[in-house]
């Protein structure tokens, strides 16, 4: 059986404002912020505000809303980072590659011919994250 949702996971703490993040988007049902170990510049995580561990327990409407936000971010990352394409990833349970147990959708801007870095390879510099968050937030406002 799947473990219960843990309200002390790191993204729940970010949602409650107990930990900082480089936020690029927020509405009443979801937030999006940059991944601290990006697999490509502008790598963003879309996180629904509801308490959901992953795809198996999330309310379908909240999942659909998160997908809509991921689409907005994907479109804006073309303008913000000159992305030629975007990779969407979403992992469920350890066996599925999930590490943080609050549902999230990865939006990874891609350039032609440039491979993604391996997962969790290195922590990005805060100033780079801040600059990229600003670029993406500005592109989202213009969208
Ligand atoms: P997943 O659960 O999708 O396999 O991986 C979790 C993702 O969250 C990883 O890409 C990792 O780099 C990212 N991550 C882990 N801890 C933090 C954090 O404290 N802040 C942010 N912004 N991202 C995190």
Per-residue model confidence as pLDDT tens digits over 35-46? 999 999 999 999
> Domain for residue 143, yes or no?
no
Atom of ligand 1 nearest to the CA of 38: 12
N- to C-terminal Cα distance for the chain?
A: 42
Q: How far apart are CA 35 and CA 37, in angstroms?
A: 5
Known catalytic membership, residue 104: yes
Q: How far apart are CA 108 and CA 77, in angstroms?
A: 9
pLDDT of residue 1: 77
What CATH number is attached to the domain comprising 85?
3.30.428.10
User: Average pLDDT for residues 29-57, to the nearest whole number?
Assistant: 98
User: Average pLDDT for residues 100-108, to the nearest whole number?
Assistant: 98
> Domain for residue 2, yes or no?
no
Per cent of the chain over pLDDT 90 is: 94
pLDDT of residue 2: 82
pLDDT digits (tens, 9 = 90+) for 62-89: 999 999 999 999 999 999 999 999 999 9
Lowest mean pLDDT among 3-7, 12-16, 119-123, 130-134: 119-123
Q: How many Å lie between the centroid of ligand 1 and the Cα of residue 37?
A: 7
Q: Does the C-beta of 7 come closer than 6 Å to ligand 1?
A: no
Domain containing residue 79: 10-138
> Domain for residue 55, yes or no?
yes
Residue 84: other Cβ atoms inside 10 A: 12
pLDDT of residue 37: 98
- Answer whether residue 20 shows pLDDT above 90: yes
> Domain for residue 3, yes or no?
no
User: Average pLDDT for residues 123-140, to the nearest whole number?
Assistant: 97
Token pair of 115, please? 């491979």
Domain total in the chain: 1
pTM for the whole thing?
0.98
79 burial level (CB within 10 Å; 0-12, 13-18, 19+): middle
Q: Which residues does 122 contact at the CB level (< 8 Å), separation at least 6?
A: 37
3-state DSSP: the chain helix, strand, coil percent, rounded to 5? Answer: 35, 15, 50
């Amino acid at each position: 059986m799947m473990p219960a949702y843990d309200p002390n996971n790191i993204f729940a703490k970010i949602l409650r404002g107990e930990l900082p993040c480089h936020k690029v988007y927020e509405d009443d049902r979801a937030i999006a912020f940059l991944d601290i170990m990006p697999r490509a510049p502008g790598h963003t995580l879309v996180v629904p505000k509801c308490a959901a561990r992953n795809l198996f327990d999330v309310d379908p409407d909240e999942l659909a809303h998160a997908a809509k936000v991921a689409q907005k971010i994907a479109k804006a990352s073309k303008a913000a980072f000159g992305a030629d394409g975007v990779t969407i990833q979403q992992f469920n349970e350890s066996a599925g590659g999930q590490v943080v147990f609050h549902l999230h959708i990865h939006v990874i801007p891609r350039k032609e011919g440039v491979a993604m870095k391996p997962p969790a390879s290195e922590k990005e510099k805060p100033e780079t994250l801040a600059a990229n968050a600003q670029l993406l937030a500005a592109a989202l406002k213009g969208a």
